Structure 1
């Protein structure tokens, strides 16, 4: 009889937290959540098979209230603050080719402003989720979208390993 023990592996499985280029997020979470307390995930990351197809290129977090403070998940520099179509968007470059975007978020920050992990970067506006106020958080590595949850949660899979 073989006995198995449920354990976490230290191996990265890149398909769990990748974009189309296959670049994995770190196994050890290094960023903080942009909402506090830790929010629920209302809609998960669902990247399209091809860049032009529909999908969900980030996660929706909440529910929360209008005017909730949004905080920087890591140190970075603001690369955009303004309207995209009809929504206020804030984008932050975090280094190593990573850029986060947050919507709908109004902010007094301007392009070029430095931000620190945990700093309030703006306030949440209504309008993204139809049934509740939520934050859409996207992360790109270069031109590829990656799962933001890989930067705040341990996304490594649990696997069964033999006891011996």
Structure 2
């Protein structure tokens, strides 16, 4: 990763990780349809200047697909960071989602509804594979975007009781 991209990412998404289990799983939707495969998982750095992955990379069917807002909110940023188009949605309560590389005709201050298209996926983030990088932060802390759309709690197997044969 280019040093300038790491710096830009650090400026947009501070590097502290929020506690797990703080995401409102019931209300958010995936930003791509159909439900995408996760190509690269959330792996925040221990310190802001260290390398890590401050979001998740989601596989798209092809470049040019619509990217949708996972929850309602207000566009807080649309622009180019280093060499990639980025859009950020403020969902309230300190939660913000950022997507790259996504070209958007929207402007800061635009209200968006959950599931509404916010832009189109551009090529380049995952090489030959079409993908979108989705980052979420609560205040200055990163959170795993997958916690908003899936239940990441571990499964617990219970022993069979005497009446369950």
Q: Which band: TM-score by shorter chain?
A: 0.7 to 0.9
Unpaired runs of at least 5, structure 1: 1-18
How many residues align? The count is: 146
In the alignment, structure 1 residue 26 sits paired with structure 2 residue 23: yes
Higher strand residue share = 1
Determine the C-alpha separation between the residues in 2 that align with 1:57 and 1:84. 15
RCO higher in structure (CA 8 A, sep ≥6): 1
TM-score (normalizing by structure 1): 0.83
Q: Secondary structure at the match of 1:149?
A: helix
Q: Residues 29 and 154 of structure 1 are in contact (CA less than 8 Å); yes or no, is this contact kept in structure 2?
A: no
Deviation at 1:26, TM superposition (A): 3.0
Partner of 1:40: 37
Deviation at 1:159, TM superposition (A): 1.7
The root-mean-square deviation of aligned C-alpha atoms, in Å, is 1.5
Q: Residues 19 and 143 of structure 2 are in contact (CA less than 8 Å); yes or no, is this contact kept in structure 1?
A: no
In the alignment, structure 1 residue 146 sits paired with structure 2 residue 143: yes
Unpaired runs of at least 5, structure 2: 1-15
Q: Secondary structure at the match of 2:44?
A: coil
Q: Cα–Cα, structure 1 residues 123 and 27, in superposed 2: closer, same or farther, change >3 Å?
A: closer
Determine the C-alpha separation between the residues in 1 that align with 2:148 and 2:158. 26
